[in-house]
Every structure is written in C-alpha cells, then in structure tokens.
A and B are shown apart, each in its own frame.
Chain A
C-alpha cells in the first residue's frame, strides 16, 4: 500500500486536512440498514463473505442511527412508514448520505398505488439511486463506491454551516 511505503521511507506525509478527512470518511462509511422489504435480503447478502461489504469499510451495520453516516433505504416505503424513515434519518449525525436501493424507493416501482410513496426523494435528499428489483449485491456495492467517490470530493468547509444551522433549528 502506498501509505505504509511512504511512512516507512520518510516517516511523514504531506497532505491537506480536506483530503485526509475525506479519505477517512469515505473509508469508513457506516450504513444504517433501513431494511423494509425484499431489498433488505440483498443488502444482507452484500455483507456476507462472498460480496463482503467490509472491503469498503462499511461492515458496521448496527441498528442504531446514532453512529451512522449512510442510510440504505432498502424496500417499499409506504406513507405510514415514511414518517418512521424520516425520523430515523433525522437522528443520524451530520454529514450523512442516502442510498435509494431498488425500484420501490426510487420511484414507487411496481406499487403504483395510493399507499406507497412514489419515490423517497419526496421527503429525503437522495444521493444515489440503485436500479433493480431487487438490485444485486454488486449493484449496491457500486452505489456505495459512488458515494465514496462523492465523499472524496467533499471539503471540510462544505459542512461547516451544518452545526450552526442545526443549533438554530433546535433554538427555534
């Protein structure tokens, strides 16, 4: 690996804070497994040894939003469930990202019906949409890599407004 070689050779590296923070963030994207229906099975499959989401530093799937950076919404979101999904999203610490996994979350999918939200982007800011019904684990890993790419382009000052904004919201 490049980093170890560099460190054993010189004992130090030169970089920017932005680059190293983004590198650290993208290498440990902890997902919140919001498994609502059948897509969740493929999400679980992505964590097994064959597909091994741990290769990307994302194996920590704990069912608590408090330690998560990425919400994988895997399954049909009904209007009743939308309140719950949003509440869990609100409990995740900033900065946070969202994957809309599968047809149902992206557009309502085959449930063109009164009870299913026709795309979770109506109430959540979605970063990556994943096609498929359900998407294969490779597809989810691809979405994760897209998120990583997105994170690697972020800079620290992109998030500096977030905390004052949240404080303002709380004070209101």
Chain B
C-alpha cells in the first residue's frame, strides 16, 4: 500500500469528523483539522504504531488578514518509520486566538510555539513557558501580524539615551 494512502486511511478510520480538508499538492500532503481536535490527532499520529510521526520539524502560523479564519497554525511532522512528511493545519476562527500546545507531545515544539506566540500573538494553552522569543519582554505588539507596520511603532522599543 502507498504510504500516503496508509496515513489517510488510518486517520479516516479514527478521526472522520475532525478532518476538514485534505490537499495533496506536488506530493505534499496537508490535512486541515478542527481546532479543538488537533491535540488529540497529533498525539495519535505520534503514538500509532503504523505511523509514528516522532519528529515535529516546525510550528508556525499564517495571518490571512481577514476577519473570519484570520490565523492558520501549521505543523510540519516527519515519520522516520515511513520516511514521510505530513503537514497539519488548523484554523483559528475567533478571538482570543488560542490552541492547545503540542509541547507535551513533541518537546521540540516548545521554542517553535514561543516564536509563533511572539510573532503572531497566538496563545498556546498548557505551554510550559510561553514567553517571547525574539522581541524584548514588555513589547506589546506582534510584528508578523499583517496590521503591524514594517517600520514598527515609534517609542515601542526602548533605546538608551544619547550621552552628551
């Protein structure tokens, strides 16, 4: 059986209602999942003996700048057993933009989620240490949001005073 079919079939058997969309673009499989089911499905992907997606390569987000479905959180997973890459997506529809953290499943997601929180302001529930990654603490904005100006907001970042 084709690996792609194996993954899809195993997922469909267990999560028929949770999967919103499946796309297969240039041999890259993406699965869009309901926000509240993502954690459960991610745990299943890692622990199922036929799949074993043991590696979380990236967590990031997309800001669509539209009022509905504004953010999409994207997870890139890899299975050593199958030598197969899988992309998980989940739409965040309304404020507050929150999703369950996958750090309890993959430790590597810890800093990825911190980065996504820093840049997009998406809150990861149950994250062990959700602090900013790049921007100084006390900074109030999220720079990769589409409504953030490229040159920043004046006076939002402190500078030392120029000596005489």
Contact = CB atoms under 8 A, between A and B. Distances in A.
Given A79-B136, A112-B151, A123 B143 contact: no
Interface string B121-157: 0000000000000111000000100001111110001
Interface of B: 134-136, 143, 148-153, 157-164
Contacts of A121: 162
A125 B159 contact: no
Contacts of A83: 158, 160
B139 to A, nearest CB: 9
A77 B161 CA distance: 15
B140 to A, nearest CB: 13
Contacts of B160: 82-83, 86, 123
A80 interface: yes
Contacts of B135: 80, 115
A112 B150 contact: yes
A15 to B, nearest CB: 31
A122 B152 contact: no
B150 A115 contact: no
Contact of A114 (B143, B158, B159, B163): B143
A113 B162 contact: no
A40 interface: no
Nearest to A121: B162
A82 B158 CA distance: 9
Given A79-B159, A82-B160, A124-B163, 17 more contacts: A79-B136, A79-B158, A80-B134, A80-B135, A112-B151, A113-B151, A114-B143, A114-B148, A114-B151, A114-B152, A114-B153, A114-B157, A115-B157, A122-B162, A123-B159, A125-B163, A165-B164
Contact of A113 (B150, B159, B163): B150
11 contacts: A80-B136, A113-B151, A114-B143, A114-B149, A114-B151, A114-B152, A114-B153, A114-B157, A121-B162, A124-B163, A165-B164
Between A79, A86, A123, the greatest number of chain B beta carbons within 10 A of the residue's beta carbon is seen for A79
A115 B162 contact: no
A117 B162 CA distance: 13
